[in-house]
Structure 1
Amino acid sequence: MNRRHFIKNLSMVAGSSLAMAPNMQALAKIVEPTPPLSSKAQFARSLKKNPGLIGFANITENFALTGLTIEGRMPDDLSGTFYRIGPAGHERGDLRYQHLFEGDGMLHSFHFSGGKIFHQGKFINTPKFAKEKQAGKFIYSGPDTKISGARAVHHADEINSSNTNVISVGDKLWTLWEAGSPMQVNPQTLDSSHWVNLGQNSPFEQSLKGMPFSAHPKVDPGGDIFNFGLNGNGQAVLYHLSANGRMKNAAVVNAGYRGMLHDFLITHKHILLILPSLSPNGAGKGFFQRTRFEKEQPMRVLVIDKAELTIKKGYQLPPGFAFHFGNAWEERDGTIHFDASLYPDDSSLHNLSAVMKGQVNKHTSRSQTVLYTLKAKGGFTQQYIDGDSEFPKVYDHLVGHRNRLLYTTGHKHNPLWADSIRKLNTDTGAVDEYYYGEDYLVEEHVITTNKADEGSGYLLGTALHLPSKRTCINLFQADNLSQGPIMRAWLPYHIPLGFHGNFQRS
């Protein structure tokens, strides 16, 4: 695609990309207020009865640098920083956000060095956060929460909460949202700096400024970064960046999709946009409220050439919805394999609204690992794996290449959040898992190793211990989860339940 044609298409995209809805600007002008104290009062009452909701309670201050109490022995080969991010600012004044995805982002770091671990956490100081902190109230409507007298939204970064993921780019950190720019953050102090202009120091210059940049970029084994940004008009921007964040290539493709898309995949040759069976045409005024599962709508896969950033072919799969995918790889003849943590409907999305009111739905649909094969000449096969699964992870050196092991979280007994972790061998079906117990809410775990060897190293993740109201960080041998954590370290407090994170070795 030549640059003039790309910029022309991009101008069409920019006009429709005001946030996580087909027309966020219009949504932001809706001034019907949330009933006074409604969600906030409901949540406060429920929290007294259900201590598990503490992970969704409002946080008002940063966490100063604090040492953890370590149980067990830290391995000598573990050195670096574990970064985690998620929504933490859920309330201001009398109002509480209606959906978990709306909260102001907070970045956490757990620094491992010399046998010690130190934690700190800071709010991402976005323009939205800074203005609302000064005002002492919400001044912008969110995707679902409509604020009386809210300020108009002119571009997505005005309401970018930077609350979903964090990745290392060169010697900097980028915190990510779904529909706006990355925020550049200092890896040591966690101080926010500025919105990243994705086209800076590249031929794209200012043409990518403020464009949607999804929260799940994929880093191939060579270090290059691929990502997408979905827009309300059905188009998607595709990105190819170097390891230091310089834009190598970008293009616009017509995905023909106006639902919610959170994640994607790459192989060594292709980008896969996997479009779930969602539409924005349901009841309700908010974006998530209106998002609905279409049981007759196929889940589509667009196969896109990584070098040219053009669509090569498409597949239709049975209806389904997935927040997250683990990995994809392809054979020499073009056959593509990928996995998904697949839900049968959208109840999990709407449950993240209910929990903000303190409602715990014990009957929310669970996701399970599904292994797909897309045949080179058309058609597909699928294999369902028993057991719940979410937040799938593979080894970094195998992103886009064949993997055998898939690490996920899971539910056994806790209806609110994950309570277990699992390792699945996709070749043999063998499962190795560890159940934390009903007293823990378990977050995404990540793989850390200094070897290009699948099964080596450690699995690392946080969990909220409900009886003590403390967060702990847990370290497992990656090849033997069932033996339990070989080290556990405790904070003297809890931190809010988050979404994603990564470990940066030093």
Structure 2
Amino acid sequence: MDRRQLLKGILAAPIAHAAISTPCLAAMQGSVSHFDQLKVNKQRFLAALEKYPDLVGVLGTDSDFSPNQLKIEGQLPKDLTGCFYRNGPARHQRAEQRYTHLFEGDGMIHQFQFAEGKVHHQGKFTQTSKFIAEEKAGKFLFSGPDSKLPHSLAINNPDSINTANTNVLPVNGELWALWEAGSATAIDGGTLQTKGLINLGEGTQHQSSLKGLPFSAHPKVEADGTIWNFGYALSGHIVLYQLNSLGKLQNVGMLNSGFTGGMVHDFLITEKHILLLLPSLKRDRTIEGQFSSIQFAPEQAMEVLIISKNTLKVVKQYSLDPGFVFHFGNAWEDKNGNISFDASLYPNGDVFNQMTSMMQGESDIPISPAKTVVFSLLRNGKVSSYTIDGISEFPRIYNALTGKRNRDLFTLSSIESDVWSDSVRRINLDNDSLDTFTYGKDYLVEEHVLVNAKENTKGDYLVGTALHTPTKRTCLNIFNAQNISAGPICRAWLPYAIPLGFHGNFLAS
């Protein structure tokens, strides 16, 4: 792999939540403007917070959350033991300044521990080098993708501003806090103490040559524990990783996708292939702010690259109608070589603007209407698809079925609310029937994950958090995964609100 070529592409542009849409280093490290938009952001947001309680979810926090036993409603299942971990941006403001985009905040790991009929919560900021330096200084020191800081310190490499704020993956007895543009960060799963950056090349022929390369926040884990992942650079180069169940590198490769649109956030695997979908995006370099510069291109087809797991080379390519995708649920292929996959498909790129508007205190922002679309890539080169009714995002499946045919797809939806997810549902892909529970417009609902109780191949429970805005408290909810519409069988209440996050996983004990 030509690391110099990939690093050239990375350092020329991406340093961001999606490994992708970040400012070039030169632009980030030397603003001479005397106008401080970050101060305006904070003043505007705090004024809006008094009027619009829904904004409490993106207020952020200034400190860790100490261990706390939660109040339980209902009966906690006896066979549900282990820890539910969540990750997301939690430090959005320091001193008199506030970030511009939701993706920019420093990451915090939340742990919900199930043991002896009780649930305990704690949350800790991941101690990245950026966080430690800014905590000591009491102020922001580095510009972000959309937040231009007057007199920003120099950014020497992507990990200089690694926020570790997007996902958390259990690997070999520890947690990996994942970003998009740089290294994974090792976390102690019990104490949530930060252990340091992961060097994927350690103990291999690559040694330190893979340090700082993009490693996405959406790795795919097969039933045997094999981990697949990718990293995207604005130059269009994509690095591909295969790790074993212990997190040790088995193979690595690189390809030039030719895609310079600014964001490739997620990917898919089947038993034989890797699928990379290149969305209908382009960058308008006249627009300040790297997330803001990502523009939807309605004339640009989405491209799907089919990559052999054995060779890490592209073996086929398909064109789809224009669209944008953050997240996929699963992909599989039949005995004839036809590939199917689902995607939470957006008709445009308005979701980027929505995240900026929320951070700056705007309320009643219409939710971006992603819908579940199931695609079939036929071996003869043709493509077919169909859409399932309703808004649909944050798809999850039973972990043991990753890359294999799945029947059940679990997603968030929005039925009563116009501004955030308020429902969770199970989609039966065999007949497209829906099993839905709606929390109501007073709740901001986050990603729910499946729990394979006692390591069964069929998950028994669906677990997730929701923020109740009238009381400013977060609740943890447990569903029977095959009877979502019956509502939570158990609910555990925190006495406070935790910042809205992105992704997480459950580690059974």
Q: Is the 8 A contact 2:79 2:454 kept in 1?
A: no
Distance in 1 between residues matched to 2:403 and 2:226, nearest whole Å: 12
Q: Which moved more, 1:316-325 or 1:252-261?
A: 252-261
Alpha-carbon spacing, 1:157–1:109, altered in 2? closer, same or farther (3 Å): same
Deviations 1:73-107, CA, capped at 9 Å, x for gaps: 11111000000010010001111000000001011
Are residues 1:269 and 2:265 paired?
Answer: no
Of residues 432, 435, 452 in structure 2, which corresponds to 1:432? 435
The residue type equivalent to 1:27 in the other structure is A
Of residues 104, 118, 122 in structure 2, which corresponds to 1:116? 118
Residue 178 of structure 1, CA deviation: 0.8
Residue 364 of structure 1, CA deviation: 3.9
Q: Is the 8 A contact 1:351 1:361 kept in 2?
A: no
Deviations 1:343-380, CA, capped at 9 Å, x for gaps: 00111121000000111344343100000000112020
Are residues 1:247 and 2:249 paired?
Answer: yes
Identity %: 47
In structure 1, the residue matched to 2:140 is 138
Are residues 1:442 and 2:445 paired?
Answer: yes
Q: Is the 8 A contact 2:199 2:211 kept in 1?
A: yes
User: Across the two proteins, how many residue pairs are aligned to each other?
Assistant: 502
In structure 2, the residue matched to 1:161 is 163
Residue 286 of structure 1, CA deviation: 1.2
Residue 416 of structure 1, CA deviation: 2.6
Of residues 176, 180, 183 in structure 1, which corresponds to 2:182? 180
Q: Is the 8 A contact 1:169 1:243 kept in 2?
A: yes
Give the CA RMSD over aligned residues.
1.5
Distance in 2 between residues matched to 1:36 and 1:146, nearest whole Å: 8
Are residues 1:324 and 2:321 paired?
Answer: no
Secondary structure of the 1:52 match is: helix
Distance in 1 between residues matched to 2:291 and 2:335, nearest whole Å: 40
In structure 1, the residue matched to 2:70 is 68
Q: Is the 8 A contact 1:226 1:239 kept in 2?
A: yes
Distance in 1 between residues matched to 2:14 and 2:412, nearest whole Å: 33
Alpha-carbon spacing, 1:342–1:413, altered in 2? closer, same or farther (3 Å): same
Are residues 1:315 and 2:318 paired?
Answer: yes
In structure 2, the residue matched to 1:419 is 422
Distance in 2 between residues matched to 1:36 and 1:300, nearest whole Å: 37
Secondary structure of the 2:368 match is: coil
TM-score normalised by structure 1 residue count: 0.96
Secondary structure of the 1:248 match is: strand
In structure 2, the residue matched to 1:480 is 483
Aligned ranges 1:348-367 → 2 under 5 Å: 348-367=351-370
Distance in 1 between residues matched to 2:84 and 2:218, nearest whole Å: 17
In structure 2, the residue matched to 1:19 is 15
In structure 2, the residue matched to 1:28 is 28
Are residues 1:231 and 2:233 paired?
Answer: yes
The residue type equivalent to 2:283 in the other structure is P
Distance in 2 between residues matched to 1:17 and 1:239, nearest whole Å: 21
The residue type equivalent to 2:230 in the other structure is F
Distance in 2 between residues matched to 1:483 and 1:219, nearest whole Å: 30
TM-score normalised by structure 2 residue count: 0.96
Of residues 38, 57, 60 in structure 1, which corresponds to 2:59? 57
Distance in 2 between residues matched to 1:254 and 1:378, nearest whole Å: 22
Of residues 121, 126, 129 in structure 1, which corresponds to 2:128? 126
Alpha-carbon spacing, 1:10–1:41, altered in 2? closer, same or farther (3 Å): closer
Residue 22 of structure 1, CA deviation: 6.3
Distance in 2 between residues matched to 1:27 and 1:218, nearest whole Å: 33
Are residues 1:285 and 2:281 paired?
Answer: no
Residue 30 of structure 1, CA deviation: 4.8
Q: Is the 8 A contact 1:276 1:321 kept in 2?
A: yes
In structure 2, the residue matched to 1:489 is 492
Distance in 2 between residues matched to 1:7 and 1:211, nearest whole Å: 9
Q: Is the 8 A contact 2:182 2:213 kept in 1?
A: yes
In structure 2, the residue matched to 1:194 is 196
Secondary structure of the 1:268 match is: coil
Residue 243 of structure 1, CA deviation: 1.0
The residue type equivalent to 1:357 in the other structure is Q
Structure 1 unaligned segments of length 5 or more: list them: none
Secondary structure of the 1:400 match is: coil
Deviations 1:333-352, CA, capped at 9 Å, x for gaps: 21100000000011112100
In structure 2, the residue matched to 1:100 is 102
Q: Is the 8 A contact 1:418 1:441 kept in 2?
A: yes
Secondary structure of the 1:371 match is: strand
Q: Which moved more, 1:315-324 or 1:282-291?
A: 282-291
Secondary structure of the 2:264 match is: coil
Distance in 2 between residues matched to 1:468 and 1:365, nearest whole Å: 26
Q: Which moved more, 1:131-140 or 1:282-291?
A: 282-291
The residue type equivalent to 2:134 in the other structure is E
Q: Is the 8 A contact 1:360 1:415 kept in 2?
A: no
Distance in 2 between residues matched to 1:305 and 1:254, nearest whole Å: 15
Structure 2 unaligned segments of length 5 or more: list them: none
Alpha-carbon spacing, 1:104–1:64, altered in 2? closer, same or farther (3 Å): same
Distance in 2 between residues matched to 1:36 and 1:287, nearest whole Å: 15
The residue type equivalent to 1:24 in the other structure is C
Alpha-carbon spacing, 1:222–1:361, altered in 2? closer, same or farther (3 Å): same
In structure 2, the residue matched to 1:333 is 336
In structure 1, the residue matched to 2:501 is 498
Secondary structure of the 1:44 match is: helix
In structure 2, the residue matched to 1:345 is 348
Q: Which moved more, 1:6-15 or 1:388-397?
A: 6-15
Distance in 1 between residues matched to 2:9 and 2:209, nearest whole Å: 11
Residue 150 of structure 1, CA deviation: 0.3
Alpha-carbon spacing, 1:414–1:8, altered in 2? closer, same or farther (3 Å): same
Residue 207 of structure 1, CA deviation: 1.3
Deviations 1:441-492, CA, capped at 9 Å, x for gaps: 1000000023676754000000001111111000000000000000000011
In structure 2, the residue matched to 1:409 is 412
Residue 26 of structure 1, CA deviation: 2.3
Secondary structure of the 1:286 match is: coil
Secondary structure of the 2:132 match is: helix
Distance in 2 between residues matched to 1:281 and 1:100, nearest whole Å: 20
Distance in 2 between residues matched to 1:81 and 1:36, nearest whole Å: 36
Deviations 1:214-233, CA, capped at 9 Å, x for gaps: 01001011101000000121
Q: Is the 8 A contact 2:275 2:304 kept in 1?
A: yes
Distance in 2 between residues matched to 1:36 and 1:487, nearest whole Å: 41
Residue 170 of structure 1, CA deviation: 0.4
Residue 29 of structure 1, CA deviation: 2.8
